[in-house]
Amino acid sequence: LARIRERFLENRPEAIISLGDTPACSLAGDFSGADEMRPGNFVFYDLMQEQTGACQEDRIAVRLACPVVARYPERNEVVVYGGAIHLSKEQLAAENGRNIFGKVSTEEQGLFGPSLPGAFVERLSQEHGIIKLPESHRDAFPVGSLAGILPVHSCLTADCMKGYLGTDGKRLDHMQGNAYI
């Protein structure tokens, strides 16, 4: 970083050395020479960050609470109101070799726990997601219940929702557009 700073500041003294991405902020220990950090979704993490080794699942601090709108027990599937506009179309290869759009957790007393082994968002349309469930959890999501989706990439999910509900029950807003200027 020091060599980069020297090279660019020699000809462009107004240049700002800016670093940032969630893995760097999570894993690097020395940011000497940087003028600013832009850590992305560092405060939330997501499945992509888990896959890169930047965090473990228990550090992912965001779930999209999606109402279950239909059940298909014969296929071990449920449909949720939570689709591509809520989760994006980014996907990850899961342990089972399939591409997934998120992992799934159940709600208990207003909180979502760890993801259920073998439960994942298999398909998305604009507004809806199809969750594939293992046989053992086929009945875990009755119509009207909430499924907690751990997003592949939390930036779009967090921004789309315009606010958050903390584990303490408090509603939290987030900065809108250029409101800070």
- Write out the E strands in the chain: 18-19, 36-37, 64-72, 77-81, 92-93, 99-100, 102-108, 111-112, 120-124, 128-132, 146-151, 163-165, 171-173
The whole-number pLDDT of residue 178 equals 53
Domain locations along the chain? 2-40, 62-162
The whole-number pLDDT of residue 72 equals 97
CATH entry, 62-162, from 2.40.37.20, 3.40.50.1000, 3.40.50.970, 3.40.190.10: 2.40.37.20
- pLDDT tens across 102-123, in order? 999 998 888 898 999 999 999 9
